[in-house]
Structure 1
């Protein structure tokens, strides 16, 4: 009989199991520590940078629940407003369509202008550095939203259209410069300096006269900046 080797093998196997368990516990502890460290960084030193990243993900046509998930909590204030004379264009696919009042369009489907009361939900999210206000319809789809900074130190930059990553880099390699329609830095930019303001207030040239009367500024549905640029609406 040779009792020595089996006992040695059993001891080695036991040590291996204990070693694997120790390594696994260490990995779990490291991952948990890293997660806690990341959460601490987002709450303290990286708070503003994290806020910029969250705001960059917001957009119209998203669900209100998506805004809640990105901003981290439900709206602090929420109420319903009724627009009595809501303008809407419907087609024959809509059950409310009336063929007698339809407008014939040779370039598209027959349409009808419909005016009726419409309910919208206004939600206001409150963060330490900013406010976000949304307007959503009965399906909880966000139709418009605005961002207002609460501090001079919190100054996110918004541009439209935003540059796409890989395509933007390829354009730069070919020597093509990407120029967004507008770029606004909250708390610093002014509406009078934006491309939208220049486009809507610049004198238009007309034949027969050196200059035409200055056009009246119009509000862009998405986006616009309030005077002083502490708020952005989209």
Structure 2
């Protein structure tokens, strides 16, 4: 004679729950969410790491592309974060803002109202290669660009002269001290250039080839503003690490400013200890 199998209280509860569709659906949802979280965790980690490594440089390029002179300094703060250094230049009624990134520096001069009169970008890393357009020069119908850590001085000047039909030539300025130096070329041509001045060259706070720099210092001395003093091997070998542009109509104010005359981008003494 078969004996009846006794059903325990636990089995009755499980049986009722298994037949409860709302309970089953609820656990399916919980399980799906748990699986999603488990799978998304490594995906999120990879996304964060991508932004911190390979994806970081393209993101920084886009930030720099958004910058413009003649705007309020708040635009730079929104794009780059808070400045690491703010200097007041009282005699000139100017302020100098320095933004620090592991790949580059941005130096901004403003008037007392916060209007950006000029800004300069200096590449710190050899692999960082942002491009900047020269308004409105074109090469075969395309905007002429200066790419930091790629374009040489010898690459840029002939294209500028060709773009203006040979009517415009850059001016050259060098300064070599015991431990400080910079070299840059400037361009201003009124209306064809939107009344903006453009400067490009090397800043001792950025990445550069020290052998070529030392060679130039030995050949032309400590200070010069004559392009004919600059050897061709230097101009053809040195890749620019700094680009600077002014707001329209501001070139005369900046050219006459002692603060601007001694600043082509950041001051390496100020930023050398900032990471």
Q: Distance in 2 between matches of 1:48 and 1:32?
A: 24
Offset of residue 25 of structure 1? 4.5
1:18 aligned partner: 27
Paired position in structure 2 for 1:224: 199
**CA deviation after TM superposition for structure 1 residue 80, in Å:** 1.4
Return the offset for 1:160: 4.1
- How much does 1:184 deviate? 0.7
- Structure 1: runs of 5 or more not aligned: 1-6, 85-118, 163-176, 205-213
Confirm whether residue 190 of structure 1 aligns to residue 158 of structure 2. no
Offset of residue 131 of structure 1? 0.9
Instruction: Give the secondary-structure state (helix, strand or coil) at the position aligned to 2:96.
Output: strand
Q: Is the 8 A contact 2:94 2:112 kept in 1?
A: yes
User: What SS does the aligned partner of 2:142 have?
Assistant: coil
Tell whether 2:102 aligns with 1:128. Answer: yes
Alpha-carbon distance change, 189 to 139 in structure 1, aligned in 2, over 3 angstroms: same
Equivalence for 2:125: 151
* Aligned residues of 1:192 and 1:198 also touching (Cα < 8 A): no
2:142 to 176, 179, 183: 179
1:152 Cα deviation from its structure 2 partner: 2.3
User: Is the 2:17–2:24 Cα contact (8 Å) retained in structure 1?
Assistant: no
Aligned to 2:218: none
Match of 2:87 in 1: 79
1:113 maps to none
DSSP-derived class of the 2:97 partner: strand
Paired residues, what number?
Answer: 170
Distance 1:233 1:32, change over 3 A: farther
Higher relative contact order (CA 8 A, sep 6+): 2
Match of 1:64 in 2: 73
Aligned mate of 2:51, from 27, 31, 42: 42
Structure 1 vs Structure 2 CA RMSD: 3.5
Counterpart CA distance in 2 for 1:133 and 1:223 is: 14
Aligned equivalents of 2:66 and 2:105: distance in 1? Answer: 15
> Using the alignment, how far apart are the partners of 1:77 and 1:57 within structure 2?
21
User: Aligned ranges for residues 85-96 of structure 1 at < 5 Å?
Assistant: none
- Which has more helix, going by share of residues? 2
TM-score scaled by length of structure 2? 0.50
TM-score by length of 1: 0.57
Per-residue CA deviations over 1:80-110 (Å, capped at 9, x if unaligned) read 12465xxxxxxxxxxxxxxxxxxxxxxxxxx
Q: Is the 8 A contact 1:130 1:148 kept in 2?
A: yes
